[in-house]
Structure 1
Amino acid sequence: MLKNQDHRLTIAPMMDWTDRHCRFFHRQLTTRALLYTEMVVADAVIQGARERLLGFDAAEHPVALQLGGSDPGKLAEAARIGEAFGYDEINLNVGCPSDRVQSGTFGACLMKVPDLVAGCVAAMKAAVRIPVTVKCRIGVDEQDPEPALDALAEGVFDAGADALWVHARKAWLEGLSPKENRDIPPLDYGRVYRLKARKQNEFIGINGGIQSIEEARAHLDHIDGAMLGRAAYHTPGILAGVDATFYGVKSDPFDYAALIDAMAEYAARHIEQGGRLGHVTRHMVGLFHGLPGARRYRQILSTDATRPGAGPDVLKTAFAAVEFGAAAAEAA
């Protein structure tokens, strides 16, 4: 079982969003929250361009690699590769409902075969020394979430899983798009709480629909950890309160100027290596949500930062548009 303090607050793996640039940015806002990669398919890890798929900045630690797959041998090999790259944890995706994962018989499809999931976890645990965890749904399609989630949890913990993160919705593999699967199936936090009540000695974390760090903190009255997803991405400024709220780290008011300087330096390195400013700044658009000048900031990042040849100075120009009065600083 993971130490509760280590994983009290995590940032969810999100396809097309939580790439290395997003994670570096989020790490500037919170030094303690565990960050997750996008899901990477085990076959791609084994056969693909590993540096492009798995490379990350040392500043991102603690950072976990999420794998997709259903072949125990391939997942074990991919986990070994991930550990060698320096990841702090390997996570198995048993929750993604996209067409891509359905065609590959992994992701949320695996909710229907808990014995196979257990076998995958056992193989990964035997292959690495770092924690192996699982992220799942409460069920899929017509499954009854009570026995379905219990069966999945029993299997993965018996196989040695160090934690189970539960997105507190069903996934509908037919009839709903991946986007609709993030909103339409109703949330059932109580189902995850009941699992934790049965599994007092195991780490159970919760995900789905959490909009603020206050909501996340309230879940810890019932569960071991909370995972922020879209709220962290669309309004990343909320992450500036994570270290104090969840880890008791006392600090001065957050220094946004230092954050922008750090991101400008990071963007400059990325551009020198052949990248573009927009690869970095696309994750930063929502940073000053609700503050005076935020609209102009967004406009600059959405237009000027995406132009060919744009440099880090664009980021500093955008930041200069934000107004930090007393009330604004409190809102931030």
Structure 2
Amino acid sequence: MAAERSGLICPKGPLDERLDQLLRQFWEVETDPIVKASKEELDCESHFVKNFVRLEGGAFTVRLPIKHNNGLLGDSHSQALRRFQSLERKLFHQPELRTQYSAFIKEYLNLGHMSLVPPELHRDCKYIRPLTGDICKMYRCVRMASSDSFLQCILWRDSPLEELQTYKLDTVTYGTKPASYLSVRAMYQLAKDEVEDFPVGSEILLRDFYVDDLISGGSSKEEVVGILALISAFLSKGEFQLRQWWSNISSVLAGSTSKPSRRSVLSSIARLYDLLGLAGPVVTKAKIFLQKLCREHHSWDESLPQDKRSAGA
């Protein structure tokens, strides 16, 4: 009892037992690196395996892992229309932003990543919403099954004078809950499908990728050059494309076919470190050049026009 009064021994209550339980769970997680998948994760994996298709060119077509029947989604067209009209009023007062929106939509169409929905099929578009945010090209490398692309519809027109059109997004779309899983899982499936022809490439993909970023290397320049060529050829089998290569040995990239772009210009400027300010005029000229590219609305990965390549290389 004396020891108990001194605070060396304390009777356990419900809170203490709960803390003990949490501590045990903490140590179990620390000592057991195997993370058990939830039922939802297992269902998503099973759904992907049952429904993915490789197209003739090697690209993947996937289905959305929908929890409930599509009919429960209801008709959201009126809500989407109100949101689009609000966006259109905003863009009317911001012409530069409207130009960027319009260019983005045209890029989607030109790349075949979305398509116009015929008027007679509008009644099937039950999950329409305005397009917002940036799109990662990796997601758009994975096609969406035509039956599910109707669940990814948007409203758009370049001008209030034009007729409002409904488009369906035909690729995995950034911002949707399963987008990251479907794209990364398609890349993992590529590693599984092509392991016989590309055993090293499959190993690199599973080991050295974090989402869409590759961080790899080798013990010699020759090995790194080989990895560059190998992983590019391997990913092309699934119509994935790696760009913006970088290496701490510049000669490794000597044979790269990458062309100057707005992104590469920004990358080059970011590498300039001028502690004493001696290179100020050069840095200023480079920044002015980048501002011109921004004003001309070049996309980040678009190859620069021929008259600007010498300046942007």
Normalising by the smaller structure, the TM-score range is: under 0.3
The structure that has the greater radius of gyration is 2
Q: Would you tell me which structure has more strand in proportion to its own residues?
A: 1
| Larger RCO (CA within 8 A; separation ≥ 6) | 1
